[in-house]
Amino acid sequence: MARSLFQALTRLQGAWKPLSFINTNFTRIPLNQLVEEETLPDYVATTVWLARDLKGRQHVALKLFIHSRSMGSQLDDEINMYKRMEGASKRHPGRDAVRTLLDTFDLDGPAGEHRCLVHTPLWDSVLTFLYRNPVRRLPEPVLAGILQRVFLALDFLHTECKIVHADIKADNIMFGIEDDSVFSHFEQEELRDPCPRKEVDGRTIYTSRQLRMPKRWGAPVLCDFGSAMPGDRENWDKIQPDIYRAPEVILEAPWTYSADMWNVGCMIWDIFEGGHLFTGKDPELKTYKSRAHLAEMVALLGPPPATLLARGKLSDKFFSQDGKSHPSIHDAFNVLYAAYHGELCTDISLPDRTTLEERETTLAGQDKASFLRLVRKLLAWEPAERGTPNELMDDEWILKHTRE
């Protein structure tokens, strides 16, 4: 409220004057040296720039799409998600927990047209913040605070906007900034010591410059709606990062908002336990495969319920219908599944049976028990049995660590 009032008052002072970045004393990068996104051969997404809104007297982040034409309707789909958010309730507290759109425009360039989205600038992502910690895991109060904000954001998206985010991961959750001097410092550093760059085929490629540590952080914000989908329709599309993909999505059963909750449950493991809960790495093909992912789920959570399998278009590809398991499955698991009609029937051996208690190695006693109760509310085979964002905002483990 106070920040918004301050910004409104500063706009009455007249427009900012443009800055001239004319310092030519920068490092020239050799043409054969790959820079940042050039090292990613399939990278066709976006770059983000800090900019100055001269009339509004504020800094903004410009998300510029590199190859707009090749993305087809996906660009308009993302804009439509932001329109849904804009038209939703202004009173829901979760509105401040998502990154909304300030403006959008198209920019002509030598290689064609580029879509540009204008956002409020933010600081580090949770992933970048995680790597600032030598142990590569978040402290419990930080994790609890992030989860509370993510659930607040998802409650707004699911109930008010009818949106499934579909891409919840640590680099799509960013910390806000309550210290505008960070941006002024960024400008002055670029004026004093311009970032290294090179010119290729008439295009200038710059290295990134990091924002300094802010004196005051803002709350975490859920970002990036490029993969978001309408939730008020029947959905069958393939969504989510491979290792975070919900079982109903893999099996091509109809999915809805609860797919986001499974996604959060898997992400927790990465940022708190220091490793993936599921990898989906096929032992034979040495790459991600759905059959390997499902095998890991079965080893950790037991067999899927028949109700889920009955809805999946691909259930027969992975699970038997008559209770007979494939000969390649470990004999020990044949006994385990004798009472079920959901044996894996793919040509792959099951991983060794394990439990969440065995996998969780950082907590003990009641704290461990309440943490795993939270995780189990997210990682239920049956989507309808997962907790909702509104329920989990007040989960006992989260409340304990946000009140300490």
Percentage of residues in the chain having pLDDT higher than 70: 87
Q: Tell which wins on pLDDT, 265 or 69.
A: 265
Q: Tell which wins on pLDDT, 343 or 306.
A: 306
Residue-level pLDDT at 337: 38
Active site residue 167: yes
DSSP codes, 113-130: EEEEEEE-----BHHHHH
Q: What is the mean pLDDT of residues 276-300?
A: 93
Residue-level pLDDT at 348: 63
pTM above threshold 0.85: yes
Catalytic residue among 124, 155, 167, 270: 167
Residue-level pLDDT at 323: 32
- Which residues have CB under 8 Å from 112's CB, separation 6+? 67, 68, 69
Q: Is the pLDDT of residue 10 over 70?
A: no
Mean pLDDT for all residues in the chain: 88
Q: Is the pLDDT of residue 93 over 50?
A: yes
Residue 148 corresponds to which amino acid? Answer: Q
| Lowest model confidence (mean pLDDT) among 35-39, 247-251, 312-316, 339-343 | 339-343
Residue-level pLDDT at 326: 39
Q: Is the pLDDT of residue 8 over 90?
A: no
| Lowest model confidence (mean pLDDT) among 6-10, 92-96, 270-274 | 6-10
All domains of the chain, ordered by start, with CATH?
9-121+180-213 (3.30.200.20), 124-177+230-404 (1.10.510.10)
> CA-CA distance, 384 to 164, in Å (whole number)?
15
Orientation of helix 365-378 relative to helix 258-268, angle to 10°: 140
Residue-level pLDDT at 259: 98
Q: What is the mean pLDDT of residues 87-96?
A: 96
pLDDT tens sequence across 250-268 = 999 999 999 999 999 999 9
Exposure string (b/e) for 206-241, b if CB count within 10 Å is 16 or more?
beeeebeebeeebebbbbbbbbbbebeeebeeebbb
DSSP H helical ranges for 42-117: 74-87
Q: Tell which wins on pLDDT, 309 or 6.
A: 309
Residue-level pLDDT at 324: 35
* Residue 338 pLDDT level (bands cut at 50, 70, 90): very low
